[in-house]
Amino acid sequence: MTRREAVETWARDTAATQSMRNDAVQNDTWLLDPLMTEQVARPQILSHDMTIQPRLNETPDIFSRRLYQYTKGAPALCGTTARLLSLHSTPFLCKALDAYMLRFHFQRYPIDIALRYFLALEHLPTESQQIDRILMAFARRYAACNPDTTNTDTTYFLSFALLLLHTDLHAQHARPRLSQSAFVSLASPSKMPAVVLECLYDNTSLVEFMFTRGRLSTDSRCAAERERYALYKLIMSGQVLNLQSQQRLMLPLQYASRSWTAQAIQHARLQAQTMLVTVPSRWRKRQAAQYRVQCLLSGAVRLCRVSEDEQDDVKNGRWRSWIIMVTSSALFWCKDMPDTTLRLEQVQPLSDALCVLDASMPHLLRLRIQQRWLMLDAGDQRDAWLDHLNYAASLATCQDPSDESLCIPVGLTLACQFMAPSMAEPMAGNVYLMRAQRMLFTRQYVTTLCVRHKALVHAEEESRRYAHHLGMLTPLRKSMRDYIEHAMHAALRSLRATQWELAFVACRLDFLRAEQRLLERHLHHHYV
């Protein structure tokens, strides 16, 4: 063949290749599922340096789609879309790379599994700058899919660390291997929990990444290849999420009803009855005495003592019926409804009490009082008992001197007399002075609680993030899976304890602020 004939043949083949390439990219259909097996039209002649140039007025999103269709249809270029988009650091290619990464959905995926999933579909280039651009785009996409767990910088750092760890563990020339403790120490700047880093190290050391060997092998003589094949089969089908912990994160505690308003609870306080309790003179050979008690709420309820664990089966518990009276500072336990006589079985201070809705059984209330855990069944009056109990407990925290509930003895038959609502009666000047002192003390206490509430909110977020990290892990080894399960239970217990403390402080803040506004309004009307 002469030189002229060779040139004519090259030109004819080039024209045919260009025509087939144009036919292949005419259809801009976007394949949302990266696991789809349908193939588009493939050119017969392809070159590794053949690229698609952006068209006039073409957006980065459309260009990334068209480039993906082209590389998917070419056997020699399959899996090189990210590599081509990372050739240069121009703004157009950077936007196109980010648009291409939108194809991948990493929700609930741990970072090592997400990285395996991405590298199974896209091949990393050899140039370090291209690798950096691809990993940064991967980090941005992963952080966008899991905003409650990580951020872009942490994801980029860990993905780079996992690639270096994989090279160190599975390279033939690397001796000695990086230990688990050394990897945890080196990856500590990511501020990732040590348990998470240990699991990432264990998974990386156990199963090799797919891009290092090319295609998977099902050869039964190679145990490593069988493990890799089984793992990537789970990853590509999405069944790898079944390896995660099935523990659900606990919801925040609800300490007030949905219909609760400050005006309603303040109106209930104004309409509360005042009860004069007379203690007989024969009690401890003392003279008869009268105590003033403000009764916010009373009624018949059913109580059952349980443990701290929220998974208790309260249906098989021992339920008992009681007459409960909620005062400004204590909880009265009675056998009969008080009329003119009162016989107290128990008197419990409300200063450390907290009542919340039970997450597992919404019709029940969970009451924590004096290191005791009780389930309370109030029937249709559930919301009223929830609001009044927490309101009275908030008042008891400030130690109202006008209430003398804690001075009443237990086990005696006492005479009682109900009076008109105390707040509606004309008050003397010393009573208003007492209210001013209470308002000042309440304001100082609220200021202290605000600082404590801010710290608890941060601690609750950290505990929830830590538990979420553990829940997303997919340990491949059984020993590591048991280790993660144990750590998960401990994290949930710590999270629940923090949530109880946060609910206690938030409850006190809400109800004491309402009480503070009430006192300020009364003082304003008195002096004006």
pLDDT surpasses 50 at 39: no
Higher pLDDT pick, 335 / 118: 118
Q: Which of 352, 328, 357 is nearest to 259 (CA)?
A: 357
In the chain, CATH 1.10.1000.11 sits at 20-243
Higher pLDDT pick, 137 / 340: 137
What's the pLDDT tens digit per position in 181-202?
999 999 999 889 999 999 999 9
What's the pLDDT tens digit per position in 106-127?
988 999 999 999 988 888 888 8
Element (H, E) at 38: none
Q: pLDDT value at position 506?
A: 93
Q: What is the CA radius of gyration of the chain?
A: 35
Of the options 2.40.128.50, 3.40.50.300, 3.40.30.10, 2.30.29.30, the CATH number for the domain spanning 262-425: 2.30.29.30
- Average pLDDT, whole number, for the chain? 77
In the chain, CATH 2.30.29.30 sits at 262-425
pLDDT surpasses 70 at 42: no
pLDDT surpasses 80 at 320: yes
> In b/e form, how buried is each residue of 293-316, taking b as 16+ CB within 10 angstroms?
bbbbbbeebebbebeeeeebebee
Superfamily of segment(s) 20-243? Arf Nucleotide-binding Site Opener,domain 2 (1.10.1000.11)
Torsion angle of the four alpha carbons 471, 476, 477, 483, in this order, in degrees rounded to the nearest 10: -10
Q: pLDDT value at position 427?
A: 47
Higher pLDDT pick, 54 / 189: 189
Region 8-13 average pLDDT: 44
Region 211-222 average pLDDT: 48
CA distances for 380 relative to 126, 258, 336, angstroms: 69, 14, 20
Of 12-16, 280-284, 518-522, highest mean pLDDT: 518-522
Q: Which of 291, 292, 293, 320 is nearest to 305 (CA)?
A: 320
Higher pLDDT pick, 49 / 250: 250
Region 475-485 average pLDDT: 90
Q: pLDDT value at position 323?
A: 87
The reply to whether CATH 1.10.287 applies to domain 432-527 is yes
Q: pLDDT value at position 211?
A: 61
pLDDT surpasses 60 at 459: yes
In angstroms, rounded to a whole number, what is the distance separating the alpha carbons of residues 470 and 474? 9
Residue type, 171: A
Structure tokens at 453: 């509430």
In angstroms, rounded to a whole number, what is the distance separating the alpha carbons of residues 329 and 349? 6
Structure tokens at 490: 């401990």
Owner of token pair 């009682």? 416
